[in-house]
Amino acid sequence: MELLKNLNWRYATKKFDTSKKVSNSDLNKLKEAVQLSVSSYGLQLYKVLIIENPEIREQLKPASWNQSQITDASHLFVFCNYTDATPEAIDGFINQTAKTRKLELERLNGYGDFIKEKLNEKTPEEKTSWLKSQTYLALGNLLNACAELKIDACPMEGFEPEAYNKILDLDNQGLNAAVIAPIGYRHEEDHTIGQQKVRKPMELLFEVV
């Protein structure tokens, strides 16, 4: 199984080679992998910013605990959840579904109403947590796709979302920076290369009921 080989190859890269850049061809493959990610109800209530601009990344570095990956990696992926699941967003999804599958809109309106009803049952805190969680599903696809293409990545929660939101003007777009991932190629001097993975034993991680 190639996936297992790829997952054993990957690790959270701490030092990137600044001289190596991810090609546009590979970047497009990564974008498609993220696009194909699963999400609750299929809504994909998030947006992914791919930060290339070095000046913006220099601004983001202090808000990322001054971690070098922010500026040294080839690209910086910022996964942003929408701060609300609006009826308009759900209607847009229903319309897109009807158009893509060539269905009459009336056949899907009931499903749209069902989604709105279930989301309205959530408290504001539950909805915020749910919206943020959707970005992690997309992050998983990015990491797996990177591993297949032998592109290094480092998923990171070590940053200040409020500062990111301000620098990237996310608040005005109804977005929130949830999780980030610099991608590129490992530097040969990265001290974490080759370290054995630390994972729970199978008998502790799994239980058959």
Each residue's pLDDT expressed in tens, for the chain with a length of 209 residues? 899 999 999 999 999 999 999 999 999 999 999 999 999 999 999 999 999 999 999 999 999 999 999 999 999 999 999 999 999 999 999 999 999 999 999 999 999 999 999 999 999 999 999 999 999 999 999 999 999 999 999 999 999 999 999 999 999 999 999 999 999 999 999 999 999 999 999 999 999 99
- Please give the class, per CATH, of domain 2-205: alpha beta
**Helix-then-strand count for the chain, H and E:** 9, 4
Q: What is the dihedral of CA 158, 32, 50, 166, to 10 degrees?
A: -70
The per-residue pLDDT for 158 is 97
The per-residue pLDDT for 173 is 98
Of 188, 190, 162, 186, nearest in space to 176 by CA: 162
* Count of beta carbons in the 10 Å neighbourhood of residue 194: 7
Q: What distance in Å separates the CA atoms of residue 2 and residue 172, rounded to the nearest whole number?
A: 42
SS3 169: coil
The per-residue pLDDT for 195 is 95
96 token code pair: 């897109």
Q: What distance in Å separates the CA atoms of residue 165 and residue 123, rounded to the nearest whole number?
A: 23
CA distances from 54 to 14, 50, 76, 147, 209 (A): 18, 12, 10, 25, 51
Domain ranges of the chain: 2-205
